[in-house]
Structure 1
Amino acid sequence: MGSMSVGGLLTGFDTKGVVQKLMNVERLAGDRIAKAKIGASALSGALTQLNGLVNKIGEAANAVIPDSILKTSIWSSASATSSAKDVATVTASGVSVAGNLTVRVDRVAQAGAALSGEIAVTDRNTAVNGSPWSLSITNHGTAIAVDFTATDTLNTVAEKINTTTGLDVTATVVKVRDGAYRLQLTSKTTGADTTLAVSGDSSVIGGVNQLTAGQDTQVTVGAGSPAEFSVTSKTAKVDGLMEGVSITALTPGTTTISSQRDPAAIADKVQAMVDAANAALTNIRINSKVDPNLSKATAGKDATNNSGVFMGNSTAQDITRRLSDIFVGSSSNIPSSVGINIAKDGSLSFDKAKFTEAYTKDPSAVEKTVTGAAQKLADVSKSLTNATDGILTIAVRGQDALVKDYSDQIKRFNDRMTAKEEILTRQYDALDKMLSKLKSQGDWLAGQINSLNGGSAKN
Structure 2
Amino acid sequence: MSTTSALTTTSTSASGTLGIDGLASGLDTTSIINSLMSIEQLPQSLLQDKVTSTSAFISSLQTINGLFATMATKATAAATSTSLNLLTASSSSSAVTASVSSTAAAGSVSFTVGSTAATQVGVTAAMTTWSSSAPTLTLVSASGAKTEISPASGSLDDVVSAINKAGAGVTATKVAAGTTADGTKQYRLQLTATASGSAGAFSLYRGSGSDVDTGTATNVLTESGAAVVQQASDASVTLWAGTAAAQTITSSTNTFTDLVPGLTVNVSAVSASPVTINVAQDTTKATAVASGLVDALNAITSYYSSNTSVSTTTSATDGSQSTTAGVLLGDATTRDAVQQITSAMSTPVNGQSPSSIGIEITKDGDFTFDSDAFQAALATDPAGTQKILSGLAQNVANVANGASDKYSGSITTAITGQQSVVTDLNQQISDWDTRLADRRATLQEEYTNLETNLSTLKSQSTWLTSQISSLPSYSSSSK
What TM-score comes out, normalization by structure 2 length? 0.66
> Residue 5 of structure 1 is aligned with which of 20, 41, 56?
20
Structure 1 window deviating more from structure 2 (199-208 vs 434-443): it is 434-443
**Paired letter, 1:44:** I
Alpha carbons 2:160, 2:174 under 8 Å: kept: no
Match of 1:173 in 2: 172
Change (3 A) 1:357 1:437: same
Alignment check: 8 A CA contact 2:117 2:196 kept = no
Deviation at 1:115, TM superposition (A): 5.1
Structure 2 distance, partners of 1:362, 1:458, is 140
Are the aligned partners of 2:65 and 2:404 in contact in 1 as well (CA < 8 Å)? yes
In 1, are the aligned partners of 2:403 and 2:409 still within 8 Å (CA)?
Answer: yes
The structural deviation recorded for 1:179 is 6.5
Equivalent position of 2:3 in the other structure? none
Q: 1:279 aligns with which of 291, 294, 299?
A: 299
Q: CA deviation at 1:12?
A: 7.3
Query: Deviation at 1:42?
Result: 1.0
Greater CA deviation, 195-204 or 250-259?
A: 195-204
The whole-number CA distance in structure 2 between the counterparts of 1:13 and 1:194 is: 100
| Alignment RMSD (CA, Å) | 5.0
1:107 aligns to what?
Answer: 114
Displacement, 1:402? 2.9
Partner of 2:285: 265
Letter in 2 for 1:353: D
Q: Deviations over 1:49-104 (max 9, x none)?
A: 2233233324434554669xxxxx75333344334314x334456776676x7x56
Please give the residue correspondences for 1:343-382 in structure 2 after superposition, counting only pairs within 5 Å: 343-375=362-394, 377-378=396-397, 381=400
Structure 2: distance between partners of 1:150 and 1:412? 80
Q: Distance in 2 between matches of 1:420 and 1:161?
A: 81
Distance 1:203 1:369 in 2: 77
Gaps of 5+ in 2: 1-9, 12-17, 153-158, 178-185, 205-211, 223-227, 316-323
Structure 1 match to 2:48: 34
Mapped contact 1:111–1:195 kept (Cα < 8 A): no
Q: 1 CA distance for matches of 2:235 and 2:429?
A: 81
1:188-199 superposed matches below 5 A:
188-189=196-197
**Residue 288 of structure 1: CA displacement?**
2.5
Query: Quick check: 2:345–2:395 contact (8 Å CA) kept in 1?
Result: no
Deviations 1:327-377 (A, max 9, x none): 133543754432233345442332222211111122222223333444555
Shift in alpha-carbon separation, 1:248–1:183, aligned structure 2, 3 A? closer
Q: Which moved more, 1:343-352 or 1:20-29?
A: 20-29
Alignment deviations for residues 225-282 of structure 1 (CA, whole Å, 9 cap, x no partner): xx78644221345688888765433222435555532211221233233212321232
- The percentage of counterpart residues that share the same residue type is 22
d(CA) in 2 for partners of 1:11, 1:392: 60
Query: In 2, Cα distance between the equivalents of 1:57 and 1:126?
Result: 73
Aligned match of 1:84: 93
Deviation at 1:36, TM superposition (A): 1.3
- Structure 2 counterparts to residues 212-251 of structure 1, below 5 A: 212=231, 214-219=233-238, 230-235=246-251, 236=254, 246-249=264-267, 250-251=269-270
Q: Is the 8 A contact 1:202 1:208 kept in 2?
A: no
8 Å Cα contact 2:357-2:374 kept in structure 1: yes
The alpha carbon displacement at 1:393 in A equals 4.4
**In structure 2, which of residues 345, 356, 360 is the aligned counterpart of residue 337 of structure 1?**
356
Deviation at 1:173, TM superposition (A): 3.3
Is 1:108–1:251's contact at 8 Å kept on the other side of the alignment?
yes
- The alignment of Structure 1 onto Structure 2 pairs a total of residues equal to 416
Pick the aligned partner of 2:63 from 49, 69, 81. Answer: 49
* TM-score, normalised by the number of residues in structure 1: 0.68
Would you say the 8 A contact 1:124–1:154 is kept in 2?
A: no
Structure 1 match to 2:181: none
Q: Do the aligned residues in 2 keep the contact of 1:125 with 1:155 (CA within 8 Å)? A: no
Partner secondary structure for residue 326 of structure 2: coil
Q: Quickly say closer, same or farther: Cα 1:41–1:360, change in 2 above 3 A.
A: same
Instruction: Find the residue that maps to 1:217 and give its secondary structure.
Output: strand
Stretches of structure 1 that go unaligned for 5 or more consecutive residues are 68-72, 163-169, 296-305
| Matching of residue 311 in structure 1 with residue 325 in structure 2 | no
